[in-house]
Amino acid sequence: MTKNVAAIVGGGVIGGGWAARFLLNGWDVQVFDPDPQAARKIGEVLDNARRSLPGLSDMPLPAEGRLSFHDDLAEAVAGAGWIQESVPERLDLKHKTFAAVQAACDATAIIGSSTSGFKPSELQQGAARPGQIVVTHPFNPVYLLPLIELVPSALNDADLIHRAKDLLTGLGFFPLHVKKEIDAHIADRFLEAVWREALWLVKDGVATTEEIDEAIRMGFGIRWAQMGLFETYRVAGGEAGMRHFMAQFGPCLKWPWTKLMDVPEFTDELVDMIAEQSDAQSGRHSIRELERIRDNNLVSMMRALKAQDWGAGAVLNAQDRRVKAEALPDLDRADLSQPILTLARAVPLDWTDYNGHMTESRYLDAFAQSTDRFMELIGCDSSYIASGGSYFTAETHIRHLDEAHAGDRIRVETQMLLGQGKKLQLFHRMYKGGQLLATGEHFLLHVSLATRKPCAPPAAIEGAMARIARAQSALPWPEWAGASIRKPG
């Protein structure tokens, strides 16, 4: 299989985020940035990404790609299938960059621009192959947030757009295909509107920067994160829906409340006022500390949405489903003579506690997921459970042997100690690399969901357990299996 290669042209905050997203999804990444601090800056972004991005997924990310830095642009784009431009927002600089890139890159490569304001037709002016260039505008942090505004012009053919969507989706993004190009695309136009109004509120002494931020994050910001704008207002209209909401609140649009079309003069006095208020609000934290706080919050919120299969969480679940088929073997692909891989994932940020390591309840959570996977392997999957049969856990014993921290890649291997009749006894071992972190022994009984009482499973499940029992018969009985907490002394 040919290794996917991405070239990053411009390694600032956005370029570094792109590098992290590609790299942690298994792509080799070649970076060009004349800044002598580029390697350090991208390295710091990668440290945050390695800690937070893997925890969004309940499946393992692929092995990390290879990162390299290049002083020569032609060398950086050589062999790349995707080239992401993230240089400063100057059209002349972007044109110069595209000319140099196209002189050296593969003609079939996709050249995406991170521009937040320029239209693709503006970027394509004077290009050797204008149809090769498309807007792919991300949101910071690029390694966590799923939205990419994919904006083509009439010069981009359907095949390039289709390939771009597929590649971005494979990286866990949500590519929003903007059908009609416009300055600042879609999302930034909303942000600019709120930004203008916020500047006026500060300038006129109505609110401080902190009060404005509190108004957003304590109220409509949370609603928007899970339901957007129009769906939020549809719900606000009650049973009558959007039509009632528009009738009730439409007239206020004529009231002279906002100053969206009137931008305050950007004076030194206004800049100083906002900077001083911002320092008072957040200055106790360094930028790197704020980035980690932001990442912690974003991962926790998106994992909550993931549990509801909603919004950004639905995008994450779809990515997990794409990865699962390859990450965890089925009964025919697994080496049944050895303990079976039943879990492979990273430790999410919200699995850690006040001691800075994985909390004890999450060891049980991980082992429960492993048990669920084993049940799927023997035929007790969601369809079977819906038909009225399942396994209930009757007893659990966990040993905590070593620590796991946020971002650590863990795996669980499962040995079946007993699988006969209504009884199922499993022994899980959790590892980080070659290091044994914990063991979990679980005794389960097959039950009828109609009576909630133990009963024998059907022949197909009995047969699958017998197949595993034969294959694992030579495995030694695990240390501590069958034991409870030993009396001290």
- 300-354 confidence digits (pLDDT tens): 888 888 888 988 888 999 999 888 877 888 888 889 999 999 999 999 888 999 9
Residue 417 pLDDT more than 60? yes
Residue 64 pLDDT more than 60? yes
Range(s) of the chain covered by CATH 3.10.129.10: 328-471
CA distances from 298 to 60, 251, 258 (A): 19, 36, 30
Question: Residue range 134-162: average pLDDT?
Answer: 96
Range(s) of the chain covered by CATH 3.40.50.720: 5-177
Residue 1 pLDDT more than 60? no
Q: Is 407 annotated as a binding residue?
A: no
Q: Is 419 annotated as a binding residue?
A: no
Of the listed ranges 219-223, 362-366, 416-420, the one predicted with least confidence: 219-223
Alpha-carbon gap, residue 190 to 212, rounded angstroms: 16
Over the range 142-179, which residues count as b (16 or more CB within 10 Å of their CB) and which as e? bbbbbbbbbbbbebbeeebbeebbebbbebbbbbbebe
pLDDT in the model for residue 219: 83
* 199, 264 Cβ separation under 8 angstroms: yes
pLDDT in the model for residue 5: 97
212, 213, 217, 219 alpha-carbon torsion, rounded to 10°: 0
Residue 166 pLDDT more than 90? yes
For Cα atoms 227, 231, 232, give the angle at the middle one, nearest 5 degrees.
70
Higher per-residue confidence, 235 vs 59 = 59
CATH architecture observed for domain 5-177: 3-Layer(aba) Sandwich (3.40)
Residue 380 pLDDT more than 80? yes
pLDDT in the model for residue 240: 75
% residues pLDDT > 70 (the chain): 95
Q: What mean pLDDT is reported for the chain?
A: 91
The pair of three-digit structure tokens given for residue 256, joined into one six-digit string: 């002279």
Alpha-carbon gap, residue 405 to 365, rounded angstroms: 15
The pair of three-digit structure tokens given for residue 324, joined into one six-digit string: 């699962």
Q: Is 11 annotated as a binding residue?
A: yes
Q: Is 15 annotated as a binding residue?
A: yes
Query: What is the pLDDT confidence band of residue 187, given thresholds at 50, 70 and 90?
Result: very high
Query: What is the pLDDT confidence band of residue 259, given thresholds at 50, 70 and 90?
Result: low
Signed CA dihedral, 25, 31, 36, 38: sign only:
negative
The pair of three-digit structure tokens given for residue 71, joined into one six-digit string: 């002083």
pLDDT in the model for residue 371: 98
What backbone torsions phi and psi does residue 246 show, to the nearest 5 degrees?
-65, -40
pLDDT in the model for residue 284: 78
pLDDT in the model for residue 163: 97
Residue 287 pLDDT more than 80? no
Q: Per the CATH hierarchy, to which homologous superfamily does domain 328-471 belong? A: Hotdog Thioesterase (3.10.129.10)
